[in-house]
Amino acid sequence: MRESSHHLNNASPARTSTSRLVLAFETSCDETAVAILRGGNRHSGPELLASEVASQIAEHEKFGGVVPEVASRNHLVQAPRLLERAVGAAKIGLAQIDAFAATSGPGLASSLMIGASIAKGLAIGFSKTYLAVNHLEGHLLSPFFGESKIRRNLSLIVSGGHTMTVLVDSVGDYEIIGRTVDDAAGEAFDKIAKLLGLGYPGGPEIEKRAAEGDPNRYDLPRSMSESENFSFSGLKTAVRYLLPKLRGDYLADVCASVQAAIVDVLVSKTIDAAKRYNVDLVTVSGGVSCNKELRRLMTEACKREGLELKTAKPWLCTDNAAMVAFAAMLKLQTGVRSSVAEEIDPNLALAQ
Ligand code: KG4
Ligand code: ZN
């Protein structure tokens, strides 16, 4: 179990009577996370009081992917423990929280249920607001973390389960421009890493080897170049057919060529969409946005096209509850509330 914490050492009791406190759970996949955020005011953005993440990567690594039953059993053990730690780090009492939030989808049903059930229980027990948050909305808004306003932008969400470009007008106003028709970018990294005998998750493993390799050594497919949608399963198949033909020390060059093929498509489709929809700000979020080559080439391309780029901070890219708390706070400020009767939805859509 790998754990990490982010909190302010000088956290003090509520700043003003209007700065609301949100406590959020994230249990959609293989990370258990709890965060506490204090809302900002007209002059300052929200302030993170605690963010606890327990990653189950080690538990799932031996199976080469996430096992739902193992994930939910781990969430059951970790969630109450992280809740206690977050409350201690934030130096607040649970009764002071104004809204309890949880990721309600998309994700694994048996995992989503745990965070959502605890948040609902707390909301009922303390007679406070419950807020169901879409995991993708958490990623989507994370480049603005800590700010008080969301600007119109073209957002690329790249995670293990999703790859999409979204036109964002304001909080809750989203139009999906492109989405993957098969594998997500992170899934492609993970599946190709498995073919190469590398560990899970595959993205960081491939990135590490790619640093020593030649990205032009193997000519791998860039699928659906004429479409706004993405497809990465052809790349995986191409690597599967390529590998038996290779001899010698090819690993770094294959990794660099795979990374180049994925990053190339992500950058060009994002830039094309930003230009087509006349947007001057590009945002990038989700686990794959940790990738330094994606950040480097997206930065270059945005500069070339006169676009501003905002990426989520690396600690906010992979799954965490701070992004869920931030999305919940923004929704709360626009008057959104959820019913405790609202069910989790493993296929929850971000927009129609
Ligand atoms: O957002 P995330 O933590 O979980 C989902 O919501 O799916 O993303 C996890 C994905 C995994 O597929 C992992 O391989 C990928 O993000 N990832 C990376 C890197 N770090 C994580 N992919 C490429 N390069 C990285 N450095
Ligand atoms: Zn995610």
Residues with CB under 6 A from ligand 1: 29, 159-161, 186, 189-190, 201-204, 207, 286-288, 290-291, 318-319
> Which residue minimizes the CA distance to atom 7 of ligand 1?
160
pLDDT in tens, 83-108: 999 999 999 999 999 999 999 999 99
Residue 6: which pLDDT band, with cuts at 50, 70 and 90? low
Q: Judge whether residue 62 has pLDDT over 80.
A: no
Q: Are 228 and 277 in contact (CB under 8 A)?
A: no
Identify the pLDDT of residue 40: 87
Beta pairing, strands 281-285 & 153-158: parallel
Position with higher pLDDT, 113 vs 6: 113
**Residue 84 neighbours by CB under 8 Å, 6+ apart:** none
pTM confidence score: 0.93
> Which residue minimizes the CA distance to atom 22 of ligand 1?
203
What is the C-alpha separation between 258 and 238, in angstroms, rounded? 10
Q: Are 228 and 273 in contact (CB under 8 A)?
A: yes
Single-letter amino acid code for the residue at 239:
V
pLDDT in tens, 176-209: 999 999 999 999 999 999 999 998 889 999 999 9
Residue 57: which pLDDT band, with cuts at 50, 70 and 90? confident
The helix/strand/coil state of 168 is strand
Mean pLDDT (the chain) is 93
Cis amide prior to 314 (ω within 30 degrees): no
What is the C-alpha separation between 338 and 195, in angstroms, rounded? 43
Beta pairing, strands 99-105 & 2-6: unpaired
Q: Are 36 and 49 in contact (CB under 8 A)?
A: yes
Position with higher pLDDT, 69 vs 167: 167
pLDDT in tens, 306-333: 999 999 999 999 999 999 999 999 999 9
Backbone φ and ψ of 181, nearest 5°: -90, -10
Distance in Å, CA 69 to ligand 2 centroid: 19
Position with higher pLDDT, 321 vs 17: 321
Edge-first strand order for the sheet with 99-105 is 2-6, 47-55, 31-38, 21-26, 99-105, 129-134
What is the C-alpha separation between 198 and 330, in angstroms, rounded? 39
Structure tokens at 233: 């399963």
